[in-house]
Amino acid sequence: MLLVAQSKLSGTIRSSENNQAVSSCIVYLNDGSKLVEASSKGEFHFEDLANGSYTVHFTSEFFEYKKIQISIANKDQNLEVFLEPKSMNLAEAVVTESASDFGLSRMNAVDNMGLYEAKKSEVILPENMTANLSTNNARQVYSKVVGLNIWENDGAGLQLSIGGRGLDPNRSSNFNTRQNGYDISADALGYPESYYTPPLEGIGKIQIVRGAASLQYGTQFGGLVNFQMKRPVEHKKMELTARQTLGSFGFYNAFTSLSGTHKKFSYYTFFQYKKGNGWRPNSEFNSYNFYTNLNYQVTENTKVGIDITKMTYLSQQPGGLTDEMFEQDPRQSNRSRNWFNVDWNLYAFHLDHKFNQNNSVNLRFFGLNANRYSVGFRPNRVATIDDNSERDLIKGDFENWGTEFRYLKRYSLGNIQSIGITGIRYYHGYNHSTQGFGSTGSDANFNYLPGEDNLLNDYEFPNKNLSLFWENIFFLNDKLSITPGVRFENIKTSAEGYYAIVYRDLAGNILERNVVEESRKNNRSFLLGGVGLSFKPNEKLEAYSNISQNYRSITFSDMRISNPSATIDPDLEDEKGYSIDLGIRSDQNRLINYDLSLFYLNYNNRIGEVQYYDESNRVLRQRTNIGQAIISGFESYVEWDFLSTLFPDNESWRGTVFSNLAIINSTYKASDINGIEGNEVEFVPNVNFKTGLSVAYKNFKSSLQFSHLSDQFSDATNAIDGGVSAVVGLIPAYSIMDFSLSYEYKKFKLEGSVNNLTNAIYFTRRATGYPGPGILPSDGRGIYLTVQFQL
């Protein structure tokens, strides 16, 4: 038991290699109730420490984790700590802020102006994985994140489509997706789809926080996905990394980065180019991606920086298949005139200031200027032969900006240590969407045919969002903490524009064009709340639980669809609900790492599509509130360093094995739509299992991974057969294997990967529109080879 005292602990952190000060190092005591960041001089200090024993943890992105045991007894202490630089010759591991050398870790209680105590969180470091990074292979990189459902219809990794716990994976739209803490989706509320995905070769870490992130980062049911780009290297004026990759189906990837620090100035920048022909015909693509981060240390406690990101790509879309076509030949394509183009421009400014060890602020300004254009022949009957008529052209332009301010304070309430964060966010979105007739050619022409009759809709979607949030960790004692939080939202969304109904004769000539003007506004304010509990009976075990309210606003896709076979319910409402987590997890020691948990998700007013017949007996789809969905399950992640356990004195070999299992039950508990109540929820495989083995010998590393997902439905009616459109129907169970190798020699590194080792034939998605409609087959076996040089 600790006795009351007023002792101080301070110290200096240096590199064992060159004796230089180590900045940007997180230092925390015991379970993190007291946590500070070292200054630019490598100095840190803790005040008002009670007598007793402490474990002092030191974590840094560029240095090995270290912990020191100390005792405080009515006397100030000063430490001089030396950290070992991280070796580039590590066996496969995803090492994060904690002590873990495993493939998955979690976030600290306090991390980079955010609170994560008692939350379900995961952290991935792609650079330390033996995986195919050049293709952004999500199946490998996210293999240890429990319960993720991944759509695979893009072998180049141009878009990331992940969902979890029954949430639609489409372009990760049910997550709040960020880069370095700021938004990267088309519109965080109005259109939260992510057409841009940072290249894994330039990402330092991927942080994922489940539904409880709704209080600090937004209202999404899925939670947070934050891509933290690589930071500038310290103690080096310039570091050059060049990677070249060749692979199957004409794949080529070139990635070059520069990084360094000179006095108060630091930078990290990269350029990536990749191209390929695709596994199916009519699947060629080329992509350009540029990113730069510039930072200036104004004073010891004040730092400013800017980020600039530009990504553009053009890809040909082979179209979807019916069930029959997929069985005949999954590599076939009957669409040669379908194209998709994205131009994504992000900019951000950040300011970080520490008033002292207990008070810090962060200010971000961020903006997006982007567009996505698609043109093609996409009739509802997938098998229809292209008649070379006018193509359907859809354009979306996005001009959005926002600012977010956060204030983090460490303080005491009597004997209770506390860490609080409060913030305010303002977001302004303006999106312009048009649809009409494009050219009859086969090239990537994104111009409408001349004449107003060829424009079928023209809409503006302005929206505004003001948010206030507060969250606080109260450490009731050295074992128990409680973390309440609240978020206030004011959302204003609207749609202004028109859509046209065109009538044609049998020859295709326009007989009549009726224009319907529309103006819709939706203003609402509400409060979300949540609370988390964490109990740590010892340093090796934590029991945690949290409950948080969730909310998802109607998007502008929900407000207007220009599709002859689809309609929108005029009474569509926002989605509301809550999520609960209850689990136990290890302290991430170097022998075994585990996280076992139960979850419960109550999803009211879930929006989806159902098929129905109109008065002419045509099959149509309506976008509406399906009803109340209940999704619950068991999630387990276990990883064991079996070679270190069996041969603790062996330093050359390393071997780990992991198991990632989610068993999920889902049902529509209530619905006003006939035939829905009691059905399973779409995008929920009952069994989601991934396992893998990693073995390393000195500079040689290898990994073998197996993934299995059971059957899942693609719509709320639980349709089995896809019919002529194949937009609904069963997604059959599938099993995939991936294998990767790497070898490092001095400044060179050689990597090899075989994706889909057994050449399994499967699909993960039935598209309702772009880039289908219909079944989108996943890629067959592909072989890739990468050479890296670092100077």
Identify the structural domains of the chain with CATH numbers, from first to last.
227-790 (2.40.170.20)
Share above pLDDT 70 across residues of the chain, in percent, rounded to a whole number: 94
User: What is the pLDDT averaged over residues 591-610?
Assistant: 90
Q: Map tokens 């073995």 to a residue.
A: 695
Q: Which residue did the predictor score with more confidence, 154 or 692?
A: 692
So what's the pLDDT on residue 763?
95
Residue 649 three-state SS:
coil
Tell whether the model's pLDDT for residue 283 goes beyond 80: yes
Alpha carbons 546 and 523: distance in angstroms, whole number: 30
Q: Is residue 93's pLDDT more than 80?
A: no
- 99-103 mean pLDDT: 47
DSSP structure class, residue 170: G
- State the pLDDT at residue 90: 32
- DSSP-derived letter for residue 186 is S
How is residue 43 written in tokens?
């100095």
Q: 722: closest CA among 762, 777, 774, 681? A: 774
Tell whether the model's pLDDT for residue 490 goes beyond 70: yes
Question: Once rounded to an integer, what is the mean pLDDT over residues 425-435?
Answer: 94
pLDDT tops 50 at residue 100: no
3-class state of residue 703 by DSSP:
strand
Highest-confidence segment of 119-133, 367-381, 605-619? 367-381
Q: For residues 514 and 380, give the distance between their C-alpha atoms in angstroms, rounded to a whole number.
A: 23
Determine the pLDDT at residue 258.
96
pLDDT for the residue numbered 414 = 78
Q: Mean pLDDT across the stretch 308-330? A: 95
Token pair of 185 as six digits: 């989706």
**Looking at residue 560, what is its pLDDT?**
66
Any residues with CB less than 8 A from the CB of 459 and at least 6 apart, and which?
A: 432, 433, 434, 495, 496, 497, 498, 499, 518, 556, 560
Burial of 745 (0-12, 13-18, 19+ CB in 10 A): exposed
pLDDT tens-place string over residues 510-555: 777 888 888 888 899 999 999 999 998 887 889 999 999 999 888 8
- pLDDT 10s digits, 117-163: 899 988 988 887 888 889 888 999 999 899 899 998 777 888 889 99
Amino acid code (one letter) for 297: Q
User: Residues 316, 284: contact at Cβ < 8 Å?
Assistant: yes
Look up residue 624 and give its two tokens. 């509406």
Band (768; pLDDT cuts 50, 70, 90)? confident
Q: How far apart are CA 125 and CA 201, in angstroms?
A: 10
- SS3 of 172, please? helix
Q: Is the pLDDT of residue 247 over 70?
A: yes
Average pLDDT, the chain: 88
pLDDT band at 785 (very low <50, low <70, confident <90, very high): very high
CA geometry: angle at 435 spanning 608 and 722, to 5°?
Answer: 40
173: three-class secondary structure by DSSP: coil
pLDDT at 618: 60
Q: How far apart are CA 696 and CA 654, in angstroms?
A: 5
pLDDT band for 486, please (50, 70, 90 cuts). Answer: very high
pLDDT at residue 241 tops 80: yes
Ranges 106-110, 566-570, 603-607: which has the least confidence: 566-570
Residue 32's closest CA among 124, 153, 130, 119?
A: 119
pLDDT surpassing 70 at residue 600: yes
Q: Looking at residue 565, what is its pLDDT?
A: 59
Q: Is the pLDDT of residue 277 over 90?
A: yes
Mean pLDDT throughout 556-565? 64
Average pLDDT score over residue span 301-327: 95
CA angle in degrees (0–180, nearest 5) for 9-14-16:
130
Mean pLDDT over 707-722 rounds to 93
The confidence band for 613, taking pLDDT boundaries of 50, 70 and 90, is low
pLDDT exceeds 50 at position 397 = yes
Tell me the average pLDDT across 604-612. 83
**pLDDT for 2 beyond 60:** no
Query: Whose CA is closest to 291, among 227, 362, 209, 219?
Result: 227
The whole-number pLDDT of residue 752 equals 95
pLDDT of residue 159: 87
* Amino acid occupying residue 722: G
**How does strand 592-613 pair with strand 34-37?**
unpaired
CA distances from 762 to 283, 715, 758 (A): 17, 19, 12
Position 616 confidence tier, pLDDT thresholds 50, 70, 90: low
Please check the confidence at residue 475 and state whether its pLDDT lies above 60: yes
Share in percent of the chain as helix, strand, coil (round to 5): 5, 60, 35
The residue-averaged pLDDT of 736-750 equals 94
Does residue 668 register a pLDDT over 60?
Answer: yes
